[in-house]
Amino acid sequence: MNQWRYVQAYSTGTSHYANNLPCQDRTVSKTIVDGSGQEIFLAAVADGAGSAYRSEYGAEIATKLILSKIEDYFRQGEVLANLSREIVGNWIEQISDQICELANDEGLGLREYACTLLAAVVKPTDGVFFQIGDGAIVIGTDEDYFPVFWPVTGEYVNSTYFITDKTSLKELQFKSINNQLIEDIALMSDGLQGLALQFATKTAHSPFFKPMFARLAEESNPGLSEVLNASLKNFLDSERVCNRTDDDKSLILSTCRCNLLSQPKSKEELNSNEAL
Amino acid sequence: MDNLEKYRSKAVPKFMHTSSYDQVPFSNDYGSTQDFPAFGTDDFANNPEPRCPVILLLDTSGSMRGTPIQELNAGVELFRDELLADALASKRVEVAIVGFGPVQVIQDFVTADYFNPPKLRAEADTPLGAAIETALDLLQSRKDTYKANGIAYYRPWVFLITDGGPTDHWQTAARRVKEGESKKSFAFFSIGVEGARIDILAQISTRTPLKLKELRFRDLFQWLSSSLKSVSRSTPGDEVPLLNPATPDGWASV
C-alpha cells in the first residue's frame, strides 16, 4: 500500500517584518485511512489578507475547520468519489458562518478575517481539489508537474478573492480527478507563485519541485517528516527565497513515492550525515 | 536577544501541532541550520517583478514659465531619486510623463533605474482634454503589454498637475476618467497649482482635487514616491492607506 511522506511550513515575508505584521499564512496536513483501508492525504493552505486586522486568525480557523470537515466526511463512511462541489460549497459556507460568529464575538467586521483557502484530498490515483483566491496546487509525477488551477486574482496583483467575501462561492474552483497518477502534490500560498510557476506559459516550474520531492521520497518513515519540516522552514526563511519574494510564503509537499536507498537510519545518523 | 533570534523564535510554527503525529516541540535552538538535512531548491521560475505604473500628466503651458516649471523639474528629479533609493520600488514602479501643451508623450513607461527626467519647458496653451485622453490611451497599451507578457500589475495611477484651465474640449476626457475610476481601471489624482480651474478639475476627477500650497512640488513628489513605495509593497487584498497630504503641515489643501 502506498503511504504519504510529507512536509509543511510557513514563513513570515520580509515585507511583513518591515510593517510589523505577523505571518498570515497557515497550513495543515495529515493522512487518514478511508473505509477501504487506503491512505488519503489531506492538506490545506490559507493566506490572510495583508490589510485585514485578524486575517492570520481567519486563516488558522479556515484551515483547521476545513480539515475537520474532510475528516468528518470520511468518518461517516463516505468515499472520495462522492465528494462533490456542492458538499465543498456547503463547507465553505459553514466556515464563513463560523468566522462570522467569531467576528461578532470579537466585535469586528467579517472583512478583518479575510483569507484565501486552497485544499486537496488525494489518493495516488484520485483527488479532489478546491480553491478560493490565489495560491496554487501543483500535482504530478517526478516527470512533470502542473497546476490544478491557475491562481485567480483580480486584474491587479494586489487583489484576489477571499472565503469571507459574500460572493465567495462564485469564485470557488473545484476539480475532481479520477484514474490519473498523482504521486506528488504541492500546495502553496501566492508568496511562492513567482518562484514555482511560469506565468508566461501558465505552467508549473518543474525544477522547483523535483529536488524537493526526490529528497522527500527518500525519507525513511512515512508520515510527516519532522526533520525535513524544519529544513523546509529554513529554506522558506532563507535569503535565496526572500530575495525573490517579500510576501509570506507557505508550502506543503507530499509524495506517495518511496525511494528508500538503504536501511532506515536513526534520526541522529541522518542529522550528522546529511547536515548542510 | 539579537535580531536573528527574535526572527526565529517569532517564526516558530506552533500551529503545526494540529497533526495527529507527536511532534518534537521546537525550542529556541531551533535556529541552527546545522541541525537539519539539506532541503530545498535553487531553481526558481524567473518571473519578472509585478509593475506599478504611474503617469505624470504635467502642465507645461506658458503660464508655468519661470519658477513653477523649475520647481516642477526639481520635484520630478527628486521623485526619481526617491524611487531609485528603494530596492523594490525601483524595480516595480514604472513612470511615464505626458506633457501639455502641446500634448506629447515626453517619457514612455520606464522603471526608475532607466528614468532620466527630461527638462520640461513651459510653452503653448493648455489642451488638458487631449492630454488626458493621450495618457489613458498610453496606459491601456501598457496594460496590454503587461498582459501579453504575463506580467502582473498594480492598479495604475494618473497624476495630473496643472496651473490653468483646459483650452480644449475636455468633457470626453472627463467621462473616460469617471468610467475608468468606477471600473477601477486606474486611480486619477488631480493637483491644482495657484491659478488652476479647480472647479473644472472637480468635474473631471472623481477624487477631490487638491490645491498645491505655494510651489511645493518637492513635497508633493516626496509624498507620491512614498505612496508608491507602499503600493509596490502591498500584497493581495491590500487597500493601501495613503497619508493625507491636506493636513496643516502637508503640501496640499482641499
Considering CB atoms only, which of A155, A234, A241 is closest to B36? Answer: A234
Give the mean model confidence (pLDDT) for residues B231-251. 71
Considering CB atoms only, which of A10, A157, A200 is closest to B149? Answer: A200
Considering CB atoms only, which of B37, B40, B184 is closest to A274? Answer: B37
The one-letter code for the residue type at B62 is G
| Structure confidence at residue B136 as a pLDDT band (50, 70, 90) | very high
* pLDDT reported for residue B10: 29
- Res. B4: pLDDT tops 60: no
Considering CB atoms only, which of B7, B11, B47 is closest to A194? Answer: B47
The DSSP bridge partners found for residue A255 are: A5, A184
Cα–Cα dist A124/A142, whole Å = 13
* pLDDT reported for residue A59: 96
With pLDDT > 90 as the criterion, what percentage of chain A qualifies?
70
Residues 6+ apart with CB under 8 A from A125: A178, A179, A180, A181, A182
Would you tell me which residues 40-99 of chain B have a C-beta closer than 8 angstroms to some C-beta of chain A?
40-45, 47, 50, 88
Q: How far is B45 from chain A (nearest CA, A)?
A: 5
Cβ of A156 and B45 within 8 Å?
Answer: no
More confident residue, A212 or A273: A212
Q: How far is A179 from chain B (nearest CA, A)?
A: 28
Considering CB atoms only, which of A60, A116, A156 is closest to B155? Answer: A156
- Res. A60: pLDDT tops 70: yes
- Res. B70: pLDDT tops 50: yes
Q: How far is A49 from chain B (nearest CA, A)?
A: 5
Chain B contact probe: residue of A20, A157, A235, A270 with most B CBs at under 10 A: A157
Cβ of B37 and A270 within 8 Å?
Answer: yes
* pLDDT reported for residue B238: 57
Cβ of B236 and A133 within 8 Å?
Answer: yes
Give the mean model confidence (pLDDT) for residues A13-35. 89
In tens, the pLDDT along A146-195 reads 999 998 777 777 678 899 988 888 889 999 999 999 999 999 999 999 89
Least confident stretch, A17-21, B20-24, B173-177: B20-24
- Res. B9: pLDDT tops 50: no
Least confident stretch, A18-22, A106-110, A117-121, B117-121: A18-22
| HSE toward the beta carbon, residue B96, CA cutoff 13 A | 25
Minimal CA–CA distance to A59: which of A26, A21, A96? A26
Q: Provide, as residue numbers in chain A, all residues whose Cβ is less than 8 Å from the Cβ of B38.
A: 215, 231, 274-276
Cα–Cα dist A242/A23, whole Å = 14
* pLDDT reported for residue B7: 33
Cβ of B40 and A160 within 8 Å?
Answer: no
Cα–Cα dist B128/B174, whole Å = 10
- According to the 3-state scheme, what is the secondary structure of chain A? CCCCEEEEEEECCHHHHHCCCCCCEEEEEEEEECCCCCEEEEEEEEEECCCCCCHHHHHHHHHHHHHHHHHHHHHCCCCHHHCCHHHHHHHHHHHHHHHHHHHHHHCCCHHHHCECEEEEEEECCEEEEEEECCCEEEEECCCCEEECCCCCCCCCCCCCCCCCCCCHHHHCEEEEECCCCCCEEEEECHHHHHHHEECCCCEECHHHHHHHHHHHCCCCCCEECHHHHHHHHHHHHCHHHHCCCCCCEEEEEEECCCCCCCCCCCHHHHHHHCEC
Contact B39, A235 (CB under 8 A): yes
- Res. A261: pLDDT tops 80: no
Considering CB atoms only, which of B11, B50, B240 is closest to A12? Answer: B11
With pLDDT > 70 as the criterion, what percentage of chain B qualifies?
83
Residue B27: closest CA among chain A residues belongs to which residue? A230
Question: Predicted ipTM?
Answer: 0.73
In tens, the pLDDT along B174-210 reads 999 999 999 889 999 999 998 899 999 999 999 889 8
CB burial of residue A143 (10 Å; 0-12, 13-18, 19+) = exposed
User: For residues B193-215, b (16+ Cβ closer than 10 Å) or e, as one string?
Assistant: beebbbebbeebbeeebbbbbeb
Tell me, yes or no, if B152 comes closer than 8 A to chain A by beta carbon: yes
Give the mean model confidence (pLDDT) for residues A202-215. 94
CB pairs under 8 A between A and B: 179
* pLDDT reported for residue B240: 65
- Res. B129: pLDDT tops 90: yes
The DSSP bridge partners found for residue B65 are: none
The DSSP bridge partners found for residue B122 are: none
Q: Provide, as residue numbers in chain A, all residues whose Cβ is less than 8 Å from the Cβ of B43.
A: 205, 207-208, 211
- Res. B169: pLDDT tops 70: yes
Tell me, yes or no, if B233 comes closer than 8 A to chain A by beta carbon: yes
Minimal CA–CA distance to B36: which of A41, A136, A237, A174? A237
